[in-house]
Amino acid sequence: MVLRSVCVAASLLALAFSSVQAQIPTAVPVDTTGLADGPFATMAMRYERTIFNVDILELEVGFDDGTAQTFSSLIQGRRYDDALAQRVVDAALVAPDVMVRTQFLRDVSLDQFLGGMRDNLRNARESGYLTEDEESLIARETTEGYSVLEDRGIRKDEVMWYRIRGDTLHVAFVALDGEVLVEDWPVGPERRMAVLGGYLAEGSDFREKLIRSLFQPE
């Protein structure tokens, strides 16, 4: 895929997750149709560098109603364990409708961002979700596509969106002023696995916290 850099006003369908701060643009540049609301519909966590206790980002993964019902049937009345966690992951990986929202809580350089993305891709490949060729291709295309951010980096409170419908992925990076700086629509089963597999693979810094968040739905 070759990500296209664009500068357009993000004035599309608005959806605000509860953790979005008032000063953050609330317009959502991806279609939210088909996503559920309520218990078991969203995984959420805050990621921090434990050694420095510095918050890096907030991550929310929203699912369709059918997947939320599957999560409910798996989790209700049960306690977290590794086997159950894997069943939750298996259900998440085949969800037909998914939206991932990442809000950065501090300035991040492009090198730091790409380094984290490469870690996710490696975890997905080591868990069998991607081949080596798919990992290399997506890493190369991502580096090329996000080159528009090389000088400015990623700034505090900016948001990255991933919208998955089947095997189609809509990617949008939104600046503080609401402009969509990076946008693309790659297609292929490896694209959903690069995102979901990267977050939910064994060894991922996100896996356990995301899954555990389903055990305490609001």
Looking at the predicted structure, is the pLDDT value of residue 124 above 70? yes
On whether residue 116 sits in a domain, the answer given is: yes
Strands 168-174 and 97-104 turn out to be unpaired
Q: What is the pLDDT of residues 139-161, one digit of tens each?
A: 999 999 999 999 999 999 999 99
On whether residue 58 sits in a domain, the answer given is: yes
Q: 157: left (phi > 0), else alpha (psi -120 to 50), else beta?
A: left
Give the Cα separation of 45 and 86 in Å (integer): 18
Residue 109, strand partner residues: none
On whether residue 164 sits in a domain, the answer given is: yes
On whether residue 218 sits in a domain, the answer given is: no
Looking at the predicted structure, is the pLDDT value of residue 199 above 60? yes
Looking at the predicted structure, is the pLDDT value of residue 9 above 60? no
CB atoms within 10 A of CB 97: 20
The HSE-up count of residue 94 (CA atoms within 13 Å, CB side) is: 8
The 8-class DSSP code of residue 3 comes to P
Asked if 190 contacts 134 with a C-beta cutoff of 8 angstroms, the reply is yes
Q: What is the pLDDT of residues 51-76, one digit of tens each?
A: 555 678 999 999 999 999 999 999 99
Please enumerate, as own/partner, the contacts of 106-111 that have beta carbons within 8 Å and a separation of 24 or more.
Answer: 106/54, 106/55, 106/56, 106/156, 107/153, 107/154, 107/155, 107/156, 108/56, 108/153, 108/154, 109/153, 109/154, 110/146, 110/147, 110/149, 110/150, 110/153, 110/154
Calculate Rg over the CA atoms of the chain: 16
On whether residue 166 sits in a domain, the answer given is: yes
pLDDT on residue 64: 97
Q: Is 64 helix (H, G, I), strand (E, B) or coil?
A: coil
What's this model's pTM, rounded to 2 decimal places?
0.83
On whether residue 104 sits in a domain, the answer given is: yes
Instruction: Tell me which residue has tokens 């990992």.
Output: 135
Q: How much is the average pLDDT of 85-97?
A: 97
Q: What is the span of the domain harbouring residue 119?
A: 4-213
Q: Is 21 helix (H, G, I), strand (E, B) or coil?
A: coil
CB atoms within 10 A of CB 174: 24
23 — pLDDT class (breaks 50, 70, 90): very low
On whether residue 48 sits in a domain, the answer given is: yes
pLDDT on residue 117: 92
Domain of 59: which CATH number? 3.50.70.10
Cβ neighbours of residue 58 under 8 Å, at least 6 residues apart? 19, 44, 45, 46, 47, 102, 103, 105
Q: What total of structural domains would you count in the chain? A: 1
On whether residue 182 sits in a domain, the answer given is: yes
